[in-house]
Structure 1
Amino acid sequence: MQLFYNPSLDNSAKQFVFPPDESKHIARVLRKSEGDIVHITNGKGYLFEAEILEPDQKRCKAHIISQSKSIPRRYKLRMVVAPTKMNDRYEWFLEKATEIGVDEITPIICDHSERKTIKLERMERVLQSAMKQSLQTFLPRINPPISGQEFLESDNSVGLKFIAHCQKGEKMELKRKVIADNDVTILIGPEGDFSKKEIDMAKEKGYIPVSLGRNRLRTETAAIVACTTVAIINN
């Protein structure tokens, strides 16, 4: 199944006109004809089945013939992850986290972060592509970057809250602390790890230090291990 994405679709839609880039893809690459069926999601849980009326390369028109609403997960996973030094590694994390299952991502700029800026629009496109590729109907939300201190000061997340760091101290394995059907927020630091000040502040805000295993992991690997752990506990 080929899945398309358009956030403007709602459950009252009867017809839909694809934008020029997708119209060209449908007509020239997929070679769809009048009467063929395509599927569209609005990223909010709805899946629309549409019949092509006019397979025009610039303005492909389709008629919505059915719709269904996906059941959301019983829990919310919020990943708060520092940008990696190399952009492609963070994009890899976004792609795989979307495939595994994540609801919200917040890039945090930490005391030891080497990268201070990110291209939010590009990351949005990565999330959209991963959602479509994995045939999901809920698009993860990515927030604008924020400093670690600002995030913690304004944090009002509920549910289980964890911080994964490399410094010595009492830590339990994440897989032993996650409880099924509970919302989870996980903090993952940069290549240079969180500073002691950031760790102490997170603990004051109720974040529990956890371990992701015996090996030292890259930021993006740690984030994927965390996502996978939560997904396994909830399956």
Structure 2
Amino acid sequence: MTRRYYVPNLAQMSGLIELPPEEAAHAARVMRVVEGDTIELFDGQGHQAAAAITHVSKRQCVCRIDSIAAIDLEPSVNLIMAIAIPKPDRAKEMIERLTEIGVHQVQPIVFERTQRAPGSSLIEKLERVVIEACKQSGRNHLMPILPVLTFGQWITKYRQSDFVDRTAYVAMPSGNPTSIDPIRSNQSSPPESSIVPECLVVIGPEGGLTESELQDCLDASIKPVDLGKRILRIETAACVIASRLLTD
């Protein structure tokens, strides 16, 4: 497996560079790199580069890069998930999977039935999970985890937004079955168009959305979708919907 390391602002670098402390420690102590080893660097903004190790110690790793390439491996649709964050261990697994699948960004939501709102320390840990998932999967763009909002704050912001080619769903057990098909780029857009269609999915906490929250979603033209006869956990529902919507 290719050894990948996260280096912010890679596009502005050249020649000899030093890996960030956490990445250097992982390279030296865990992966046991030695001088002359080839590794791959990425910046989370779409750039990657091959590099050769020139110096390594317990806390430092220096490498040489020759050229940096912009390689876009993102889906043709920006999938945004407005979601209740489950317990920490389940949240980490969910974020890892959503990063691998190609979700564009995650918006943590505190619903009325949320038992425990995610704190800043958990969000920081989840951001690190995103980096590790990108390293493992070969993804070059980090999946942003946006600041936590209450449902009221989020739905107000959503009503004021202006999505292009907007498609939106809210997961709702016992709701009307709705077919979830892969979202494709708008074929009517000119070939040179840089517009990327966006899709939104709302997934509530254990116990689901309240009647008022669901009504707010319906009033905002967010379609209810039933995922089947069984009740799925938050992280399971998120991965099921994401995998159905994103095919490339």
For residue 208 of structure 2, the aligned residue among 180, 184, 193 is: 193
What whole-Å deviation, never above 9, does each CA across 1:191-220 have from its counterpart, x for those lacking one? 010011111111111211112222211111
The aligned residue for residue 83 of structure 1 is 85
**Which region of structure 1 is more displaced relative to structure 2, 136-145 or 114-123?**
114-123
SS for the counterpart of 2:138 is coil
Determine whether 1:98 maps to 2:99: yes
Determine whether 1:146 maps to 2:144: no
Classify 1:165/1:17 alpha carbon distance in 2 versus 1 (closer, same or farther; 3 Å): same
- The answer to whether the 8 A contact 2:52-2:65 is kept is yes
In structure 2, the gaps of 5 or more residues are 186-196
TM-score scaled to structure 1, two decimals? Answer: 0.90
What whole-Å deviation, never above 9, does each CA across 1:107-134 have from its counterpart, x for those lacking one? 1000111122332111101111111111
Letter in 2 for 1:211: D
CA distance in 1, matches of 2:177, 2:150: 24
What whole-Å deviation, never above 9, does each CA across 1:210-232 have from its counterpart, x for those lacking one? 1222221111111111111112x
The aligned residue for residue 74 of structure 1 is 76
Determine whether 1:212 maps to 2:215: no
CA distance in 2, matches of 1:14, 1:160: 45
Classify 1:28/1:164 alpha carbon distance in 2 versus 1 (closer, same or farther; 3 Å): closer
Classify 1:157/1:195 alpha carbon distance in 2 versus 1 (closer, same or farther; 3 Å): farther
Q: CA RMSD in A?
A: 1.7
The aligned residue for residue 178 of structure 2 is 172
The aligned residue for residue 114 of structure 2 is 113
Q: Which runs of 4+ in 1 moved over 6 A?
A: none
CA distance in 2, matches of 1:26, 1:83: 31
CA distance in 2, matches of 1:125, 1:165: 30
Q: CA deviation at 1:78?
A: 0.5
The aligned residue for residue 223 of structure 1 is 238
The aligned residue for residue 18 of structure 2 is 17
SS for the counterpart of 1:142 is coil
Identity, % of aligned positions = 28
- The answer to whether the 8 A contact 2:170-2:217 is kept is yes
CA distance in 1, matches of 2:168, 2:31: 45
